[in-house]
Amino acid sequence: MSEPEITQKKPYVLELEAGDYWWCACGRSKNQPFCDGSHQGTGLSPQKFTLSEKGKVWLCGCRRSGKAPHCDGTHKGL
């Protein structure tokens, strides 16, 4: 698999608790935007990110962000 699947052309806007999270980098997870292990065999791996406190995050849905797992607006050009 050379390119990850685009799950949506906008960010996932979520309010999350402090803790560790695994963002789906392949786009195959049924638990978007988080990893469910569906990347096996794709050559892609989920990306871990940590929140030190509860807060709102904008996670990439197009899988093309230069600041993954966070959205940088790349989806606007797709």
Query: How far apart are alpha carbons 67 and 57 in whole angstroms?
Result: 13
pLDDT tens profile 17-46:
999 999 999 999 999 999 999 999 999 999
Angle CA 24–33–60, to nearest 5: 85
How confident is the model over 57-67, as pLDDT tens digits? 999 999 999 99
46's tokens: 């989920």
Distances (CA, A) of 28 to 7, 14, 17, 52: 8, 19, 24, 27
Q: What is the structure's pLDDT at 3?
A: 87
Who contacts 2 (Cβ-Cβ below 8 Å, separation ≥6)?
A: none
pLDDT at residue 2 greater than cutoff 80: no
Task: Tell me the whole-structure pTM to 2 decimals.
Answer: 0.93
